[in-house]
Amino acid sequence: MGGVGVDLHVELDGADGRRAGLERALREAVRDGRLAPGERLPATRALAVELGISRNTVKAAYDQLVAEGYLTARQGSGTRVASLPAEDAAAPQAAARARAPRFDLRPGSPDVGAFPAAAWVRALRRAIAAAPSLAYDYGDPRGRLELRQALSGYLGRARGVIAPPERIVVTSGYVQGLALLTRVLDGATVAMEDPGLPFHREVVRRNGGTVVPVPVDERGARAEGLGEASAVVVTPAHQYPTGVTLHPERRRALTDWARARGGLIVEDDYDGEFRYDRQPVGALQGMAPGQVAYLGTASKTLGPGLRLGWMVLPPHLVDAVADAKLHSDHHTESIGQLALAELIDSHAYDRHVRACRLRYRRRRDQLLDRLGGRRGVRGVAAGLHALVEVADEKEVLARAEAEGLALGCLGEHWHAPGGPGAERPQGIVVGYGTPRERAYPEALEVLARLLNSAAGSSS
Contact by Cβ (8 Å): 245, 220: yes
| Average pLDDT along the chain | 89
Contact by Cβ (8 Å): 368, 374: no
Residues with Cβ < 8 Å from 323, sequence gap 6 or more? 141
Average pLDDT (336-350) is 97
Q: How far apart are CA 61 and CA 68, in angstroms?
A: 11
Average pLDDT (29-44) is 88
The whole-number pLDDT of residue 9 equals 79
Coil, helix or strand for 234? strand
Distance of CA 362 to the CA centre of its chain: 23
Specify the CATH number for the domain of residue 66.
Answer: 1.10.10.10
Average pLDDT (43-66) is 90
CA dihedral 297, 302, 304, 305 (to 10 degrees): -130
Instruction: Give the range of the structural domain holding residue 370, as residue numbers without chain letter.
Output: 103-113+350-458
52-56, 89-93, 298-302, 386-390: which range is least confident on average?
89-93
* Closest residue by Cα to residue 292 from 275, 308, 268: 268
Q: How far apart are CA 325 and CA 319, in angstroms?
A: 10
Q: Is residue 49 part of a domain?
A: yes
Specify the CATH number for the domain of residue 198.
Answer: 3.40.640.10
Q: How far apart are CA 318 and CA 190, in angstroms?
A: 19
The whole-number pLDDT of residue 457 equals 62
Contact by Cβ (8 Å): 65, 73: no
The whole-number pLDDT of residue 430 equals 94
Contact by Cβ (8 Å): 21, 13: yes
Residue 98 has pLDDT above 60, yes or no: no
Phi, psi for residue 380 in degrees, rounded to 5: -100, 5
The whole-number pLDDT of residue 84 equals 63
Q: Is 457 exposed, middle or buried (0-12, 13-18, 19+ CB in 10 A)?
A: exposed
DSSP classification of residue 306: G
57-71, 86-100, 373-387, 428-442: which range is least confident on average?
86-100
Residue 217 half-sphere exposure, CB side, CA atoms within 13 Å?
A: 6
Which pTM was predicted? 0.82
Residue 420 has pLDDT above 50, yes or no: no
Q: Is residue 420 part of a domain?
A: yes
Helix, strand, coil shares of the chain, percent, nearest 5, are: 45, 15, 40
In this structure, are 77 and 130 located in the same domain? no
85-99, 220-234, 319-333: which range is least confident on average?
85-99
Within 273-347, residue ranges assigned H as helices are 318-329, 334-345
pLDDT digits (tens, 9 = 90+) for 150-179: 999 999 999 999 999 999 999 999 999 999
pLDDT digits (tens, 9 = 90+) for 359-415: 999 999 999 998 866 668 998 888 999 999 998 999 999 999 999 999 999 999 999
Phi, psi for residue 195 in degrees, rounded to 5: -80, 160
pLDDT digits (tens, 9 = 90+) for 278-301: 666 789 999 999 999 999 999 999
The whole-number pLDDT of residue 421 equals 46
| Buried b / exposed e along 204-222 (16+ C-beta atoms within 10 A) | beebebebbbbebeeebbb
In this structure, are 121 and 151 located in the same domain? yes
Residue 72 has pLDDT above 80, yes or no: yes
Domains in the chain, number: 3
In this structure, are 420 and 441 located in the same domain? yes
Kind plus residue range of the DSSP H or E element containing 189: strand 189-194
Residue 259 has pLDDT above 70, yes or no: yes
* Closest residue by Cα to residue 226 from 194, 197, 196: 194
In this structure, are 146 and 288 located in the same domain? yes
The whole-number pLDDT of residue 116 equals 95
Residue 87 has pLDDT above 80, yes or no: no
Q: How far apart are CA 438 and CA 434, in angstroms?
A: 12
In this structure, are 273 and 129 located in the same domain? yes
pLDDT digits (tens, 9 = 90+) for 209-222: 999 999 999 999 99
Specify the CATH number for the domain of residue 409.
Answer: 3.90.1150.10
* Closest residue by Cα to residue 324 from 208, 210, 229: 208
Q: Is residue 174 part of a domain?
A: yes
The whole-number pLDDT of residue 89 equals 45
Residue 342 has pLDDT above 50, yes or no: yes
Share of the chain above pLDDT 70, in %: 91
Question: How sure is the predictor about 96, in pLDDT bands with cuts at 50, 70 and 90?
Answer: very low
Residue 191 has pLDDT above 80, yes or no: yes
